[in-house]
Structure 1
Amino acid sequence: MKIKKPIRISLPKQTSIEIEKAIKNGLFKIGEKIPSEPDLVKEFGVSRNTIREAIQSLIQAGVLESRQGNGTYVIAISKFEANILNRLNNSKTSEVHEVRICLEKEIVKLAAQRRSDDDLENIKNALNQRNLTKSSFIENSEADLEFHLAIAKASHNSIFYDLYKSLSQYICTSVAQRLKSTNMEEKMIYQLHIELFEAISSQNIEKSEEIIIKILEI
């Protein structure tokens, strides 16, 4: 077997990794403009050229977006998420929905098995917020997503959580479109989400799976 020699990572590469970590940790948030070049130079202690190369690499990866005359914005949490979003945008809606069904079924089953008291409190808070939101379709879908993300976190499987979070932008748009087109009464949708919370709370795995399927069929 031929052994490859270790490769030293360049300074721009190291800087891009650190910027990506800052995004993942919530220091730079989705939809927000990142600090100016001089501020980043001061923060990371590197040259302006290094910052420019690092930012350019993240723009090419789909994590950042440069807007002419308006700075650079965060559009994805990571390169992984950027790749997922690119794949989703080039996929059939029906295929994405099938993937979401499989993912959410496993997530609710694990959440029902593993949820802690703190998890239940977080899910309940997200549920209350979801059911109190009576604004636009987009705002409704964002509140709905937070509820499902709380359940994903309760699965205590970080990969499932990251996958679901990576799908979140696409799911949010999908939910908004379905809320616009559905004829089902909000009262029925409201009740299904309450029943899902109760099933997870009582650790009823079969019931949890049954209800999430009903929700996704709306």
Structure 2
Amino acid sequence: MPIQTIESRRLYRQIADQLSRLIDKGEFRVGARLPSERDLSEQLGVSRPSVREALIALEVEGLVEVRGGAGVFVCARKPGGASHRAEATPPGPFDLIRARWIIESETAALAATHATPEHLQRLKSALVDMQRYATHAPEAVAADQRFHLCLAEASGNSALLMVVQQLWEARTGPLYTQLESHFSGEAVWKQAVEEHGELLQAVAGRDPRAARDAMRKHMKNAEVRFASGWKPGEP
């Protein structure tokens, strides 16, 4: 029996590639609205979060436009536009959030035990910088990143710091930031700032359990928001 290539592409990439091929074949013409997220999920036999990640990947590549409240529409393919299919495929936003839930919650618990006064001051400084902004401005996200990396450093475990740095590289990549752009707003950012305040309070209070719970709450809120807040063209 001939050896066959093992399918190693992430699920959202497989979905995105299938939709891209259908667009190329004219099944969905330029300007046409794609089936709803719910319908695609049922037809493909996959979860709605996986479909959402695939649609965001296609939006990053310029093949579709997501119009909140209206639907997802096919765009004209730009001449000479580069395809992302052959490039290394990053983890999807939902996998990333779940990984952060596991790793950063324990990082926060360790930080509550090992953080130095210098760490606490840097965390406070990052939080103050976050509070200067009303929404997800680049400077605000940079302050958010500083907060989380300082928390990882405060854990006292250099391997955890390395992992958190890698997770944040993916978190600031185009796939995650494009999905996040559909949820940015003052209310969302205000909630995030408040959650960081709870994290700082728990770490400064030397309460590992509270720090762990605060990080889990922060990550779970992000997952729930990404899973339920964007329903273009659906009832």
Query: TM-score, with normalisation over the residues of structure 1?
Result: 0.53
Aligned partner of 1:192: which letter?
E
CA-CA distance at 1:122 after TM superposition = 1.2
Moved more, 128-137 or 176-185: 176-185
Alpha-carbon distance in structure 2 between the residues aligned to 1:171 and 1:134: 20
Alpha-carbon distance in structure 2 between the residues aligned to 1:186 and 1:136: 6
Q: Does 1:116 align with 2:142?
A: no
Residues 193-216 of structure 1 show CA distances to partners (whole Å, capped at 9, x for unaligned) of 111101000011111111111211
Q: Which residue of 1 aligns with 2:207?
A: 204
Q: How many residues were matched structurally?
A: 132
Alpha-carbon distance in structure 2 between the residues aligned to 1:110 and 1:139: 27
Which residue of 181, 184, 187 corresponds with 2:183? 181
Give the conservation status (yes or no) of the 8 Å contact 1:145–1:172: no
Alpha-carbon distance in structure 1 between the residues aligned to 2:158 and 2:216: 22
Q: Which residue of 2 aligns with 1:214?
A: 217
Alpha-carbon distance in structure 2 between the residues aligned to 1:95 and 1:197: 25
Closer/same/farther in 2, CA of residues 199 and 135 from structure 1, 3 Å limit: closer
Q: Which residue of 1 aligns with 2:195?
A: 192
CA-CA distance at 1:124 after TM superposition = 0.9
CA-CA distance at 1:166 after TM superposition = 2.1
CA-CA distance at 1:161 after TM superposition = 0.6
Q: Which residue of 1 aligns with 2:172?
A: 172
- Root-mean-square deviation (CA, aligned residues, Å) is 2.4
Residues 55-82 of structure 1 show CA distances to partners (whole Å, capped at 9, x for unaligned) of xxxxxxxxxxxxxxxxxxxxxxxxxxxx
Give the conservation status (yes or no) of the 8 Å contact 2:90–2:170: no
Alpha-carbon distance in structure 2 between the residues aligned to 1:176 and 1:207: 31
Closer/same/farther in 2, CA of residues 130 and 109 from structure 1, 3 Å limit: same
Partner SS for 1:181: coil
Aligned partner of 1:147: which letter?
F
**Larger RCO: 1 or 2 (CA < 8 Å, sep 6+):** 2
Partner SS for 1:203: coil
Query: TM-score, with normalisation over the residues of structure 2?
Result: 0.50
Give the conservation status (yes or no) of the 8 Å contact 1:133–1:143: no
Residues 8-35 of structure 1 show CA distances to partners (whole Å, capped at 9, x for unaligned) of xxxxxxxxxxxxxxxxxxxxxxxxxxxx
CA-CA distance at 1:185 after TM superposition = 4.1
Aligned partner of 2:170: which letter?
Y
Residues 33-70 of structure 1 show CA distances to partners (whole Å, capped at 9, x for unaligned) of xxxxxxxxxxxxxxxxxxxxxxxxxxxxxxxxxxxxxx
Q: Which has the higher helix share?
A: 1
Alpha-carbon distance in structure 1 between the residues aligned to 2:181 and 2:148: 16
Aligned partner of 2:183: which letter?
S
Q: Which runs of 4+ in 1 moved over 6 A?
A: none
CA-CA distance at 1:147 after TM superposition = 0.9
CA-CA distance at 1:175 after TM superposition = 5.9
Alignment of 1:28-177 (within 5 A): 89-134=89-134, 137-173=137-173, 174=176, 177=179
Give the conservation status (yes or no) of the 8 Å contact 2:96–2:171: no
CA-CA distance at 1:96 after TM superposition = 2.2
Residue segments in structure 1 that go unaligned for 5+ positions in a row: 1-85
Alpha-carbon distance in structure 2 between the residues aligned to 1:180 and 1:211: 24
CA-CA distance at 1:176 after TM superposition = 7.0
Moved more, 135-144 or 150-159: 135-144
